[in-house]
Structure 1
Amino acid sequence: MAREYGKVTPSILEKLTEALGKNRVLADEASMEPYSWDETGKNFAVMPEVVVRPGSTEEVQAVMAIAQRHHIPVTMSAARSGVAGGAVPLRRGIVITTEKMNRIIEIDEINRTATVEPGVITNDLCKVVAERGFLYAGSPMSTLTSTVGGNVATNAGGAKGIRYGSTRAHVLGLEAILPGGEVIRLGGKIRKGTWGYDLKDLIIGSEGTLAVVTKIIVNLEPLPGRTADLLVPFASIDEAVLATSKILSLGVSLISCEYLDQPSVLLTSRYVNYAYPFQERAGAFLLVQVEGASEEDLERDCDRVGNLCYDQGAMEVFVADNRSDSADIWSVRQNYAEALRVRDPYFVSGDVLVPLSEVPAIVKAIGERAEKYDLECVICGHIGEGNMHPDIFKPDGMSVKEWEVYAEKFFADLIRVAVDLGGIGSGEHGVGFVKKPFLIETKGRVEMALMERVKGAFDPDWILNPGKIVDDHIQEEGTP
Structure 2
Amino acid sequence: MTGTFFGNTDALRERYGKITPEILREIQEAAGAKNVVAGDPEALESYASDEAGIMFTSMPDAVVKAESAEQVAAVMKVASKYKIPVTPRGAGSGLAGAAVPLCGGIVLSLEKMNRILEIDPVNRVAVVEPGVVTNELCKAVAEQGFLYAGYPMSTETSFIGGNVATNAGGGKVIRYGNTRRHVLGLEVVLPTGTVLNLGGRIRKDTWGYSLMQLMVGSEGTLGIITRVIVNLEPKPGKTVNLLVAFPDLDSAVDSVAKVVRTGISVISCELMDKLSVNIAASHVNTVLPYQDRADAFLLIQIEGDSDERLEEGYEKVGTLCLENGALEVFVAESRTESGMIWNIRQNLAEAMRAHDPYCSLSGDMVVPLSTVPEMVEEIRKAGKERGIAVGILGHIADGNLHPIIFKPAGMEPMEWAEYAEAFYDDLTSVAIRLGGVGSGEHGIGYVKMPIFLHSKPAEEIEIMRGIKRSFDPDGILNPGKLLGS
Q: Compute the TM-score of the two structures, normalised by the length of structure 1.
A: 0.97
- Matching of residues 214-229 of structure 1 within 5 Å: 214-229=226-241
Is 1:259 matched with 2:297? no
350-359 or 433-442: bigger deviation:
350-359
C-alpha distance in structure 1 between counterparts of 2:116 and 2:366, whole Å: 33
**1:239 aligns to what SS in structure 2?**
helix
Match of 2:358 in 1: 346
Contact 1:203 1:211 in 2 (8 A): yes
1:65-76 correspondence runs (5 A): 65-76=77-88
Task: Tell me what 1:30 maps to.
Answer: 42
In the alignment, does 2:61 pair up with 1:49?
Answer: yes
**2-side partners of 1:234 and 1:326: how far apart?**
19
| Match status 1:375 vs 2:384 | no
Q: Is 1:461 matched with 2:474? A: yes
Q: 1:247-302 CA deviation, whole Å, 9 max, x = no partner?
A: 11111111111100111111111111221222222222111101110111111111
User: Equivalent residue of 2:55, what SS?
Assistant: helix
Displacement of 1:242 in angstroms is 2.6
Alpha carbons 2:269, 2:396 under 8 Å: kept: yes
RMSD of aligned residue pairs (Cα, Å): 1.1
Pair 1:18 & 2:29 matched: yes
Counterpart for residue 408 of structure 2: 395
> 2:335 corresponds to which residue?
323
SS in 1 for 2:245: strand
Secondary structure, counterpart of 2:411 in structure 1: coil
Amino acid corresponding to residue 321 of structure 2 in structure 1: C
Residue 235 (structure 1) shift: 2.2
Question: Which residue in the other structure is 1:475 paired with?
Answer: none
| Residue 304 (structure 1) shift | 1.0
Contact 1:237 1:360 in 2 (8 A): no
One-letter code aligned to 1:144: E
Match of 1:8 in 2: 19
User: What's the CA shift for 1:135?
Assistant: 0.8
Unmatched 5+ stretches in structure 1: 473-480
Q: Give 2:75's aligned residue.
A: 63
Q: State the partner residue of 1:477.
A: none
The structural deviation recorded for 1:185 is 0.7
The answer on whether the counterparts of 2:254 and 2:373 sit within 8 Å (CA) in structure 1 is no
Equivalent residue in structure 2 for 1:305, among 302, 306, 317: 317
Secondary structure of 1:86's partner? coil
Percent sequence identity over matched residues? 55
Structure 2: segments with no counterpart, 5+ residues? 1-10
Residue in 1 aligned with 2:3?
none
* Runs of 4+ that moved beyond 6 A: none
Matching residue's letter, 2:465: E
Moved more, 70-79 or 229-238: 229-238
User: Structure 1 residue 417 and structure 2 residue 430: aligned?
Assistant: yes
Equivalent residue, structure 2, for 1:429: 442
Aligned mates of 1:471, 1:270 — CA distance in 2: 40
SS in 2 for 1:251: coil
8 A Cα contact 2:31 2:72, kept in partner:
no
Look up the equivalent residue of 2:458 and give its one-letter code.
R
Decide which moves more: 366-375 or 130-139.
366-375
Q: Secondary structure at the match of 1:254?
A: strand
Which amino acid is 2:304 matched to? G
Distance 1:201 1:38 in 2: 25
Q: How many residues align?
A: 472
Counterpart-to-counterpart distance in 2, 1:287 and 1:370: 24
Distance across 1 between alignment mates of 2:399 and 2:315 = 25
Q: Tell me what 1:478 maps to.
A: none
User: What is residue 202 of structure 2 aligned with on the other side?
Assistant: 190
8 Å contact from structure 1 (residues 353, 388) kept in 2: yes
1:39 is displaced (CA, Å) by 0.7
Q: Which stretch of structure 1 is more off in the superposition, 442-451 or 306-315?
A: 306-315
Separation in 2, partners of 1:19, 1:339: 40
